[in-house]
């Protein structure tokens, strides 16, 4: 469906802007004289009839569209915004016919696994899991799968899939290859350019960036797919909130700066953790010791802000680290300005992980103070 405001990108000089940093700031605005410089939250269910916009669940709102325009331009496609990341994931699974074959990575966001398992139990589709780095396995799976869902880097083991090779494998014309781009973000990876049909991100994480909203974005190039995703949003009522969309746009404005700082912090912390005697193993795609470092270097513009590391000793040793940090918050989720740490095997459905694995989402704080906090929490006694 067409955008409904005279203020959208097609009328604007946005086409001349190619850098992500400038697009994040310039896109999603109404440039007509007298318009507010920032698109306000529009808490409207319905609109005065006479244009294509009648009811927001069907036709969207200017606030959602600001978010959709920004992400769409960043990823080179059309974006549909949802009430949460999982609502966006569900809309992608909604495209499947009964009896479809779904392939998921062995290391994958637990909500996506839960959704896929539920559909499998109900007999809607069959489900297979593949190791993230089993490139040959994924290439083979492409020949008969209907939905190939990749997550790269993966959560929480941070394995990088060879997305380019997998995307170039022959797949059924009706198949969808989707990439969960939440950990990489549109700034480090553009899945549609790599050959994916669908790029998904939880906007709750880096786009929002402040742990104060839930939203999801799904980006595609095909018009029919975009229409089908919008139809799914409409019929399932998976609509983003007005305030959440406003906050997600506000977050997007500073995303490049936040990512740059947090990513630089993460590299420094990963190296120091790697050298720390109380740390058994660090998983960070930027370290040359990381098993998929060379693919990461080739495929990603940056290595991201998430580090997983195993503390020497059992679960209790890792729990102790979480209880001792003070600048870093003991909390779940990721991609925000504040650093958070969590023991992942403590979470239902994640028992396959090493018991002492901690996932650290590095924020934008002073890196020396972050390190002091971590080093103090890792002390022996």
Ligand X SMILES: *Cc1c(COP(=O)(O)O)cnc(C)c1O
Q: Is 216 in the site for ligand X (CB under 6 A)?
A: yes
Give the phi and the psi of residue 299 in degrees, each rounded to 5: -105, -30
Q: Is 182 in the site for ligand X (CB under 6 A)?
A: yes
Are the C-beta atoms of 167 and 189 separated by less than 8 Å?
Answer: no
Binding mask 276-305 for ligand X (x = CB under 6 A): ------------------------------
**Closest approach of Cβ 90 to ligand X, in Å?**
9
Pick one of 214, 317, 362, 374: the residue that binds ligand X (CB under 6 A).
214
CA gap 230, 64 in Å, rounded: 12
User: How far are the Cα atoms of 103, 162, 363 from residue 139, in angstroms, in the given order?
Assistant: 11, 10, 36
CB atoms within 10 A of CB 40: 13
Residue 243 or 316 with smaller CB distance to ligand X: 243
Q: Is 180 in the site for ligand X (CB under 6 A)?
A: yes
Are the C-beta atoms of 322 and 343 separated by less than 8 Å?
Answer: yes
How many residues touch ligand X under the rule CB under 6 A: the total is 16
Q: Is 247 in the site for ligand X (CB under 6 A)?
A: no
Q: Is 208 in the site for ligand X (CB under 6 A)?
A: no
End-to-end CA distance of the chain: 62
Give the phi and the psi of residue 82 in degrees, each rounded to 5: -130, 170
Indicate the SS3 state at residue 344: helix
Give the phi and the psi of residue 40 in degrees, each rounded to 5: -75, 160
Pick one of 64, 109, 125, 246: the residue that binds ligand X (CB under 6 A).
109
CA gap 231, 223 in Å, rounded: 12
Catalytic residue among 4, 31, 57, 140: 57
Starting at the earlier edge strand, list the strands of the sheet with 340-343.
279-283, 306-311, 357-361, 340-343, 329-330
State yes or no: is 180 an active-site residue. yes
Q: Which residues pair with 81 in a beta bridge?
A: 217
Q: Is 347 in the site for ligand X (CB under 6 A)?
A: no
Indicate the SS3 state at residue 325: coil
State yes or no: is 57 an active-site residue. yes
Q: Is 107 in the site for ligand X (CB under 6 A)?
A: no
Catalytic residue among 133, 180, 197, 373: 180
Tokens 């494998």 map to which residue?
A: 169
Residue nearest ligand X by beta-carbon distance: 85
Q: What length does the chain have?
A: 381
Q: Which residues pair with 82 in a beta bridge?
A: 216
Pick one of 9, 56, 155, 211: the residue that binds ligand X (CB under 6 A).
155
Q: Is 358 in the site for ligand X (CB under 6 A)?
A: no
Pick one of 41, 62, 77, 85: the residue that binds ligand X (CB under 6 A).
85
Catalytic residue among 39, 109, 233, 344: 109
Q: Is 111 in the site for ligand X (CB under 6 A)?
A: yes
Residue 7 or 199 with smaller CB distance to ligand X: 199
Q: Is 188 in the site for ligand X (CB under 6 A)?
A: no
Pick one of 29, 205, 258, 343: the residue that binds ligand X (CB under 6 A).
205
Pick one of 24, 74, 86, 377: the residue that binds ligand X (CB under 6 A).
86
Residues 120-149 that bind ligand X (CB under 6 A): none
Residue 8 or 202 with smaller CB distance to ligand X: 202
Q: Is 204 in the site for ligand X (CB under 6 A)?
A: yes
From 53-61, 80-88, 117-125, 354-362, span contacting ligand X (CB under 6 A): 80-88
Q: Is 59 in the site for ligand X (CB under 6 A)?
A: no
CA gap 38, 59 in Å, rounded: 21
Q: Is 153 in the site for ligand X (CB under 6 A)?
A: no
Using N-to-C axis directions, what is the helix angle for 255-274 and 242-253, rounded to 10°?
Answer: 70
Tokens of 220: 């595609």
Phi-psi region of 340 (alpha: psi -120 to 50; beta: other; left: phi over 0): beta
Residue 29 or 343 with smaller CB distance to ligand X: 343
Q: Which residues bind ligand X (CB under 6 A)?
A: 84-86, 109, 111-112, 151, 155, 180, 182-183, 202, 204-205, 214, 216
Residues tagged active-site: 57, 109, 180, 205
């Amino acid at each position: 469906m067409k955008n409904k405001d005279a203020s959208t990108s097609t009328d604007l000089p946005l086409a001349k802007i190619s850098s992500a940093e400038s697009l994040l700031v310039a896109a999603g605005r109404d440039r007509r004289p007298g318009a507010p410089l920032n698109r306000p939250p529009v808490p409207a269910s319905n609109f005065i009839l006479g244009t294509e916009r009648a009811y927001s669940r069907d036709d969207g709102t200017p606030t959602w569209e600001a978010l959709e325009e920004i992400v769409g331009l960043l990823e080179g496609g059309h974006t549909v915004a949802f009430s949460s990341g999982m609502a966006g994931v569900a809309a992608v699974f909604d495209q499947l016919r009964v009896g479809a074959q779904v392939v998921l990575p062995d290391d994958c966001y637990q909500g996506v696994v839960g959704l896929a398992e539920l559909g499998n139990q109900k007999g809607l589709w069959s489900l297979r899991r593949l190791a993230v780095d089993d490139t040959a396995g994924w290439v083979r799976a492409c020949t008969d799968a209907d939905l190939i869902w990749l997550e790269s880097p993966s959560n929480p083991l941070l394995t990088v899939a060879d997305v380019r090779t997998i995307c170039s494998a022959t797949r059924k014309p009706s198949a969808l290859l989707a990439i969960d781009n939440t950990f990489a973000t549109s700034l480090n990876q553009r899945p549609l350019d790599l050959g994916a049909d669908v790029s998904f991100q939880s906007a709750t994480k880096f786009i929002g960036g402040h742990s104060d909203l839930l939203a999801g974005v799904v980006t595609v190039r095909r018009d029919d797919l975009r229409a089908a995703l919008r139809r799914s949003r409409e019929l399932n009522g998976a609509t983003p909130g007005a305030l959440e969309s406003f906050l997600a746009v506000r977050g997007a404005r500073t995303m490049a700066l936040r990512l740059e700082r947090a990513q630089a912090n993460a590299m420094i912390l990963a190296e120091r953790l790697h050298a720390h005697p109380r740390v058994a193993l660090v998983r960070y795609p930027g370290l040359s010791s990381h098993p998929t470092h060379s693919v990461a270097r080739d495929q990603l513009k940056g290595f991201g802000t998430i580090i997983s590391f195993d503390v020497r000793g059992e679960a209790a040793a890792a729990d102790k680290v979480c209880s001792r940090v003070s600048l870093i918050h003991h909390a779940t989720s990721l991609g925000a300005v504040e650093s958070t740490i969590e023991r992942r095997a403590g979470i239902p459905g994640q028992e396959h992980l090493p018991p002492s694995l901690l996932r650290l989402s590095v924020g934008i704080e002073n890196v020396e103070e972050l390190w002091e906090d971590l080093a103090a929490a890792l002390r022996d006694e």
